Structure 1
């Protein structure tokens, strides 16, 4: 039977972690977040500190340098960090669930021992190369190709919107590529998609100039080019032809993590709005005394409670090893909507100040939209939920 995680009733080891990360967020992340965002500066120092705290190693076994925890512990950390800085939270989320987790789940023992310690100490990052210029939600439309030649994979193609792919501490990218064809259940030929590890600095592998983004300004995001890239045949990650299926599993887990990040963003909007509504006066009294404001904030809090319960439920099943695909999609859908809705309402509560970038709610307004797009759009989540219902 699944042991359900319940908001407000966490076991002490989880609550202790949550408090520790909350204190780190309030004391070290919050004071520098506006400046990092304004300068579009990657937070190397904060990433290193999170590494020292063991956050990048939370769900990994101690034998590889991890903390021996689980995915729910990572979600709690993401929620607390995202209250103040979504860019930093997505750096952690992508570094763990998209960068290191594929190695942990599908790598050989040699790959795990060689690569995991380099990316779970906060001194290195890995990236997840799935999305392409013409293959986003339709990830099966991969155009990148890889062929075996003299004991090496030769890779040609391009990837788009890849997080953590161009930092000074990026160690490698795991990239999907078509490595041949296979016969589908309907008798037609379909692309065989595999996953290959490409170390940073490999000739022909180029992180192109960073994107000029609407939000997540201190997160690292690049298009990637593969032009005759050669890596050893042993750099195949997992079984040949299972790359697409394996990355779908990674995305299921990642959706729970994105839901947690979204809850943190939504909670940050509530906290900022409550504080502002108590301090800001209009017509002789705090604006929080007016129902037009207080009811708006109350609805924001209700969204947070519902979204947190949804991701806790999904995480409970995931950690217990039970099927959680539907619950992950529900959590991601509800939580990303809550983040965007709360950001809009928080900006309204703050009035003109909410339109100023130095205010937290303005950053959340810009940052939260991508939560309805990345790691599966809201429309994809609805499709997956309907499919799980047999529709």
Structure 2
């Protein structure tokens, strides 16, 4: 079944430029993304042409400095773009979020010379990025990563394996966190590695329950040599760079989750108002009406939460706790809303003829990526009560 274009959410946007931007996104969604989403996800096809179009349209660098090819947009606007894209196809919305995450280290911690050399192509030159932090033995415990970078003259030689890498094997550049010093978070450094570097390879993509169009793969670094000019930040600064990127990335996941939830609600409302039982639309029955009302309320609450956190970020205020809260609440809400959407459709919701089952499968991964929701609860609790006491 071909997906319908998502319903247009009423948005409060700060400028005419932002309103034009959302209008552009909706045109692309309706013309290029939504009509192909179901077929391409079922076939497991990655829409590289869509990302090329998004790059040409200036949508891959929205929150970054226009001096380096970015869009100078507030994070609150960028996240609403992500929501629109994810509502049409999560592979696209999450892909843009991951690309933005991969650009974060260089944009925020690179030298002026590094940014001038690399960012224009990364933000608007048709390139696609990936972010390499997790490993087979270090997911939530990222500070224990084992991929190692060793100095060799003016170069670094990187050896190890990264896991669960979105765009693994197809990315044009990888932001890689590797160990350059002692064990623990202070021994980690960030590097910008070209996708065609000698010694870099990817395993076959993981076979996933959802997001089949988005390749997720292990990436192997077999003595990959990069010059010191591709080191981002100071030696040993990599873990703090990674945490900074993840705070922003978690807001991206929150926005994508609300996009998926909104798409599921739209599908449920359309079905409930069309489907007739006992001589009237099933949307007339109070039990179902209350279910739809609860779904809509969770979506609005989640949207408000991620936008509030984004505004803090835009103001330069601390937002780590709010980012964790937004990621936690929005992704849990998406799981509840998509589950309820399948229930509203009944037997049809369990079939691939309707997109509700796909939304449910896709929502699950959002509770896991960029820090599981259990990790988000730990982050929030640390802000409230301080670090855990080790006995």
The TM-score normalised by the length of structure 1 is 0.92
* Cα deviation, residue 191, structure 1: 5.6
| Other-structure match for 1:95 | 99
Local SS of the residue matching 1:133 = coil
1:120 partner SS: helix
Q: Establish whether residue 131 from structure 1 lines up as the match of residue 126 from structure 2.
A: no
Bigger mean CA deviation after superposition, 50-59 or 152-161:
50-59
Matching residue within 232, 235, 249 for 1:240: 235
Counterpart Cα distance in 1 of 2:42 and 2:181: 45
Distance in 1 separating the partners of 2:85 and 2:116:
29
Any idea what the Cα deviations from partners look like across 1:218-239, whole Å, max 9, x if unmatched? 1122101111111112221111
SS of 2:180 mapped into structure 1: strand
Q: CA deviation at 1:10?
A: 2.9
CA contact (8 A) 2:203 2:218 kept: yes
The residue that corresponds to 1:60 in the other structure is 64
Distance 2:12 2:157 in 1: 52
- Name whichever of 20-29 and 135-144 sits farther off: 20-29
**Structure 1: distance between partners of 2:185 and 2:117:** 33
Pick one of 356, 362, 381 that aligns with 2:376: 381
Q: Does 1:20 align with 2:21?
A: no
For residues 74-105 of structure 1, give each alpha carbon's deviation from its aligned partner in whole angstroms, at most 9, with x where no partner exists: 20111111112111101111111x21121111
Does the 8 A contact of 1:49 with 1:122 survive in 2? no
CA–CA distance in 2 between the matches of 1:232 and 1:76?
37
Match of 1:3 in 2: none
Q: In the TM superposition, what whole-angstrom CA distance separates every residue of 1:36-74 from its partner, at most 9, and x where no partner exists?
A: 101100011211221122110211222212222232222
Q: Give me the whole-angstrom Cα distance separating, in 2, the residues matched to 1:288 and 1:347.
A: 15
Which of these residues, 197, 216, 222, is aligned with residue 221 of structure 1?
Answer: 216
Aligned mate of 1:282, from 277, 292, 307 = 277
Structure 2 CA distance for aligned equivalents of residues 85 and 249 of structure 1: 27
2:5 corresponding residue in structure 1: none
Could you say which residue in structure 1 is the equivalent of 2:169? 166
Q: Tell me the SS of whatever aligns to 1:252.
A: helix
Q: Is 2:75–2:311's contact at 8 Å kept on the other side of the alignment?
A: no
- Return the offset for 1:20: 2.9
Structure 2 counterpart of 1:360, from 355, 362, 372? 355
Q: SS of 2:173's equivalent?
A: strand
Map of 2:115 onto structure 1? 112
8 A Cα contact 2:135 2:161, kept in partner: yes
The whole-number CA distance in structure 2 between the counterparts of 1:380 and 1:132 is 17
Q: How far is 1:190 from its partner? A: 6.8
Which consecutive residues of structure 2, in runs of 5 or more, have no partner in the other structure? 1-9, 387-391
Matched, 1:84 2:96: no
> In 1, are the aligned partners of 2:133 and 2:162 still within 8 Å (CA)?
yes
Inter-partner Cα distance in structure 2 for 1:84 and 1:164: 19
The one-character-per-residue Cα deviations of 1:343-387 (angstroms, maximum 9, x if unpaired) are 100011111211122422111111010111111111111111111
Whether the 8 Å contact between 2:260 and 2:359 is mirrored in structure 1 is yes
Count of residues in Structure 1 that have an aligned counterpart in Structure 2: 376
What are the equivalent positions in structure 2 for 1:39-50 lying under 5 Å apart?
Answer: 39-50=43-54
Partner of 2:7: none
- Could you tell me which residue of structure 1 aligns to residue 150 of structure 2? 147
Per-residue deviation, residues 213-262 of structure 1 (Å, max 9, x unmatched): 11111112210111111111222111110101111000001111111111
2:260 is the counterpart of 1:265: yes
Q: Distance in 1 between matches of 2:56 and 2:185?
A: 45
Q: Report how far residue 133 of structure 1 moved.
A: 0.5
- Per the normalisation by structure 2, the TM-score is 0.92
CA deviations over 1:255-280 (Å, ceiling 9, x no partner):
11111111111111111111111111
How far does the alpha carbon of each residue in 1:125-184 deviate from its partner, in whole angstroms, 9 at most, with x for none?
Answer: 1111100001111000111111101221111110001112322xx2211111110128xx
Give the stretch that moved more between structures: 336-345 or 102-111: 102-111
Q: Secondary structure at the match of 2:232?
A: coil
